[in-house]
Structure 1
């Protein structure tokens, strides 16, 4: 009933929120004399803070309409080039006016951990001028009807393999945080099967490959609770009238509550500073606050089976580093990885995936030549800084691009026509263009 109460609370607050927002617009209007006084700005700030604190944040848009290539602006169009019920593969198609050397093809595997793929907007933006970029746009589980079936960790691995098949040879996979485990597992399975379309390289960033190393607060919670506790306390059915009515999920608002409680003092300070910036009419910091929290507070639900299987496999049993992980009925053996180059990236101050957890992948891939492996730890950044921000743009992104380009050129350009997907026997290819946030 907790999810239903959460929805009822939002519905009950809707009229008050609408009234408060109307008052904010009225008191903040340049035509209102009070808007130019301290009293008026204080009242307007209070109303905005209340409205933003009680709002339901929808899925943000990437909004990357252009990028700069060789000093000139280039139009970027979002296309859905592959689609299944729980994921769309978005291609950021660049309108290149003249022939130029081929850029590396990069598949960014976004986290399926409560936030939308748009959390990686900065990652995409930094790579776009130098790469042909695709990203996994995972679908909010509460928007997927029960008739579409289940989606678990094994399905996630299948999706990754199918997307790599769809993109064809010389694909470079970049996994940010949570996808590091299924991406490593997918590559291990492809290598074990001698798949000619195995990616040229994989980059694992801030991922929980071996959570026994420098465990964080997130790891400790999973270690100290039995899986039955998670089933009883955090799994809930999607309420009516959502499309996924009656689907068991791990609600996004619970994940958000967990993340915010880890740094509650920082979030409270940010809210107070935002309020003071509004009163002082200091526009730039206030706008940066809005942009960050519009993204951070937009959350999605995860299917119960995916969440529980991930918690048990990755955080409780440590199945991958122990060599006990299975994909369907086949073992995930990282020693099978011999050809796919591996780059691991960590942040010195990461409080989600501790230092060494991602680097553990280097140890697992025992048969990978030294020429195909690289590790980098970025000083002075936390988890978010591993894939976003100025240090990512300046220090990490160039390394990812150089690594992908080097190993793409080394992989033969094989034909994808005879390679079948793991679950359907043939690729599922759908192309749609996204305009104004809607696919057409």
Structure 2
């Protein structure tokens, strides 16, 4: 696979003139001053040109674009600020401009975005739903092809180290939400910190559609990893970053390979969506076409993962199932979920999740026997798949309020338990 990246970039480079020609043709045929622009044939050609250009371009990292939210029924401005940064990740804070103090507490919530191919902006709707009642932070993981080799390696152990540092620096009274992939490293980081008796352990963690125990209700994704094994992925999915990028020669799991896997899982749906897009363009249905553009501008924007992180995750989470077996290690030391005694856990799952099957996330509640039941909660959302667990109408109407209620309850419980200790001091 070492030549895969070079072949991909070479093909993209050779397609550049055709892409430019297609875009110029589309612009000319859609110019109101061109009499041909009003002919059905011209609209079909222009639509085909746009579809070709979009299918052959590389999509850049999108922006969050969150500029406003509602707090206590009033609109307040939202601005982004980087509050923590290392080579492979930065943490963005979404600051809200309050004209007056909010009516209720606004707990700190760190949303740990998945590092599984897409950028953190995929959680735009996730962040937006939490802004009215929380001080929100989100992890913005770096594209591995943009990180120079001198920055060193980044594997699952490094990921957990990053989380521990974030928890310390953003605390105290921090709540964490792990969306999909980071459920395992988040609970592992908390377990390690609990074993260390760290004062920076988060008050709560919400685990959403994550593979805590991939043996439960295994999906096609889980079965593929189990059947192929880590060696197969190392041989068939890893390549070197070409020298045109800052991360030249870094071993990565390329974003374009990940995207091909994403598309293959629901190929019929994507083919139908692009066919509909062509029809919308020909008919002049601008609103429907714009919705398609917005979705695929996000969906087709992918990033590279470091090879060591990807392969270690495959082996630890999906092949060996080290976390639920109690054999997972971090920097050579055991990751003991039994050490978790303070950090509350809310497990959230989707009834129709085809990535992390029902029961995989709930396993976190069974694997933490020393955490009081009062600090455990579970929510199974009917009628949603994997994406619906953290985005969409049911997420906004049901899941997000459930998370907020849990966070507020655990914040109050933590404060109540701390009060006698403060009085004693």
Q: TM (normalized to structure 1)?
A: 0.92
Distance 2:32 2:75 in 1: 35
Pairing partner for 1:6 from 5, 8, 23: 8
Match of 1:429 in 2: none
* Matched position secondary structure for 1:79: strand
Match of 2:200 in 1: 197
- The yes-or-no answer on 1:378 pairing with 2:381 is yes
Match of 2:354 in 1: 351
Give the C-alpha shift of residue 376 in structure 1: 0.5
Match of 2:52 in 1: 50
Query: In the TM superposition, what whole-angstrom CA distance separates every residue of 1:14-43 from its partner, at most 9, and x where no partner exists?
Result: 111011111111111222233233222211
Pairing partner for 1:393 from 382, 396, 411: 396
Tell me the C-alpha RMSD between the 2 structures.
Answer: 1.4
Q: CA 1:322–1:63 in structure 2 vs 1: closer, same or farther (change >3 Å)?
A: same
Pairing partner for 2:302 from 296, 299, 302: 299
Q: CA 1:256–1:413 in structure 2 vs 1: closer, same or farther (change >3 Å)?
A: farther
Between stretches 26-35 and 12-21, larger displacement belongs to 26-35
Pairing partner for 1:222 from 219, 222, 225: 225
* Matched position secondary structure for 1:11: helix
Distance 1:206 1:261 in 2: 21
Query: In the TM superposition, what whole-angstrom CA distance separates every residue of 1:119-174 from its partner, at most 9, and x where no partner exists?
Result: 00000011111110000000000000000100000110011111011111111100
* Matched position secondary structure for 1:343: strand
Distance 1:129 1:25 in 2: 41
* Matched position secondary structure for 2:118: coil
* Matched position secondary structure for 1:42: helix
Distance 1:269 1:54 in 2: 18
Distance 2:200 2:22 in 1: 55
* Matched position secondary structure for 1:196: coil
- The yes-or-no answer on 1:15 pairing with 2:9 is no
Pairing partner for 1:114 from 105, 117, 138: 117
Give the C-alpha shift of residue 400 in structure 1: 0.8
Query: In the TM superposition, what whole-angstrom CA distance separates every residue of 1:273-323 from its partner, at most 9, and x where no partner exists?
Result: 111111111122211111110000000000010001000000000000000
* Matched position secondary structure for 1:411: helix
Give the C-alpha shift of residue 413 in structure 1: 11
Match of 2:422 in 1: none
* Matched position secondary structure for 1:81: strand
Distance 2:127 2:13 in 1: 35
Give the C-alpha shift of residue 412 in structure 1: 4.6
Distance 1:413 1:292 in 2: 44
* Contact 1:20 1:47 (8 Å CA) reproduced: yes
- The yes-or-no answer on 1:411 pairing with 2:414 is yes
- The yes-or-no answer on 1:257 pairing with 2:260 is yes
Structure with more of its chain in helix, by fraction: 2
Give the C-alpha shift of residue 411 in structure 1: 2.6
Match of 1:316 in 2: 319
Distance 2:36 2:173 in 1: 61
Give the C-alpha shift of residue 59 in structure 1: 0.4
* Matched position secondary structure for 1:225: helix
Structure 1 alignment gaps of length 5 or more: 415-440
Q: CA 1:43–1:348 in structure 2 vs 1: closer, same or farther (change >3 Å)?
A: same
Distance 1:323 1:220 in 2: 21
Give the C-alpha shift of residue 86 in structure 1: 0.2
Give the C-alpha shift of residue 409 in structure 1: 2.6
* Matched position secondary structure for 2:29: helix
Q: How many residues align?
A: 415
Distance 2:416 2:174 in 1: 10
